[in-house]
Amino acid sequence: MDMTQNESALACAAQRGDKEALQLLLNRNWGWLRGLVYSVLADTQDLDDVLQEVCVRVITRIHTLREPERFRAWLAAVARREVLKHYRRRTHRNIQVDQSMISLKLDAYVRDPRDDVEKSEMCGRILDAVKTLPDKYREVFVLAHTGELTYAEMAEVLDVPMTTMQIRLVRARRMVQNQVMGRADSRCANDE
Amino acid sequence: MNEINDRLEILIGKLVDGEISPGERQILERELNVNSQAKELLEQLRSLRQYSRQAVAAEVSGGASADQIFERAWQQSRKSSYQRIIRLDGHLRFAVGLAAGLILGLALHFVPIWGGSKTPMQVPGETLVAKGPSDVAGTPVSVVPVKQGGPRPMTGQVDWYVFTGPNGEQWVVEGVREGLVKTADYRGKPRPM
């Protein structure tokens, strides 16, 4: 399979039952897909399980994709549905941030030991703030910081116009920034 | 902060994310030169973006790789399709069982009418009088049911029944249901000639 093939061609091949094409297609979109599922779940505990369910759904339903050129939007919709199904299956679960786990994960990213505490604390505060965001703001915030998608691609994945996505991102950042800085958020309107 | 509107904040966000166009960059630079709050916000958003990327990466990364999850999902989807076939077979089996039950029920309903009850019954209140050429043991004879007053017992569903004659001999009689009289078998002691 030629890596330069576009996703639309890969989606068509996957619809014809090409396992390799489907795997490549999912690989290419894995980063943001993982971020999206995490943003809807607001939790990492079941992230791999839900991603597996998403993959199963994609494998069994790829033939229902009507517009192969809109594979990303379709994949995002499938992922959201699977997360909602997952929510229905599980009942009560505490989604508090596990600070110790964040510190452990951050070890891989933090190079200077003097910055460990400060960075870990700041990242923990940011994640706390992200988890309190309304869904639509949390999604766009996480997608923007997975660093894999352009604005146009984020708008496609979220299935909203570009300007709507930009306004959501601005407001999500403002809410997180205010919470991290301990400021009262007076400008977070819900209107777009 | 109040002097920073959404439009300007979007431009700052675009600059931070590397999505700003040359024309927008010029507009933003002009604004940044005169608006200290905008400049401060730019620094805050740069810092926030850096930490946010680290935080999100730390949170989202790890776990199984895309290939591992895909392979597991592939196996699961194969298994699911097999299970769907089994489930369909289960439905099929249920339908077959239901049909068999229906047929059996119908058979049980109609068999007594066609074949009659094979269980001999004692009919109280009736005396049958032998009326035939011979009532020698083992020889079939004809009998006629005679009512002895009182209500007739519920013998409508009985095709066969047994009665004991005045001398202790036993008779099996067939077909009293519709007034039909048929031959009977004598199962008693041989009567002395």
From the list B56, B77, B81, the residue facing A142 with the nearest CB is: B56
Who has greater pLDDT, B153 or A154? A154
For residue B129, what are the contacts with CB-CB under 8 A and spacing of at least 6? Answer: B143, B144, B146
Q: Is B119 on the interface with A (CB under 8 A)?
A: no
CB A188 within 8 A of CB A179: no
Number of domains in chain A: 2
**Host H or E run for residue B87:** helix B66-115
pLDDT at A125 > cutoff 70:
yes
User: Would you call A127 and B59 a contact, using CB atoms and an 8 Å cutoff?
Assistant: yes
3-class secondary structure, B193: coil
- pLDDT tens digits, A25-61: 999 999 999 999 998 888 788 889 999 999 999 999 9
Among the candidates A27, A58, A89, a domain finishes at: A89
The predicted pLDDT at position B139 comes to 47
- d(C-alpha B139, C-alpha B141), whole Å: 6
Indicate whether A109 and A174 sit together in one domain: yes
Q: Per-residue pLDDT for chain B (193 aa), expressed as one digit of tens each?
A: 445 688 888 999 999 999 999 999 999 999 999 988 899 999 999 999 999 998 888 888 877 888 899 999 998 888 776 666 555 566 778 888 899 999 999 888 877 655 444 555 544 544 454 444 444 444 444 454 544 454 455 445 556 667 777 777 777 776 655 555 555 666 666 655 5
3-class secondary structure, A192: coil
Please report residues of B whose CB lies closer than 8 A to that of A19.
74
Nearest residue to B177 (alpha-carbon basis) of B113, B125, B106: B113
Q: Is A11 on the interface with B (CB under 8 A)?
A: no
**Residue B129: φ, ψ to 5°:** -110, 125
Neighbours of B35 (CB within 10 A): 16
Indicate whether A85 and A104 sit together in one domain: no
Indicate whether A152 and A124 sit together in one domain: yes
Q: How large is the ipTM?
A: 0.76
Among the candidates A31, A55, A89, a domain finishes at: A89
For residue B153, what are the contacts with CB-CB under 8 A and spacing of at least 6? Answer: B123, B124, B125, B126
Q: How far apart are the first and last CA of chain B?
A: 134
CATH of the domain at A81: 1.10.1740.10
Please report residues of A whose CB lies closer than 8 A to that of B55.
102, 106, 122-124, 126-127, 130, 145
Among the candidates A56, A89, A122, a domain finishes at: A89
CATH of the domain at A108: 1.10.10.10
- d(C-alpha A102, C-alpha A30), whole Å: 21
- d(C-alpha A127, C-alpha A122), whole Å: 9
Question: What is the domain range of residue A139?
Answer: 99-181
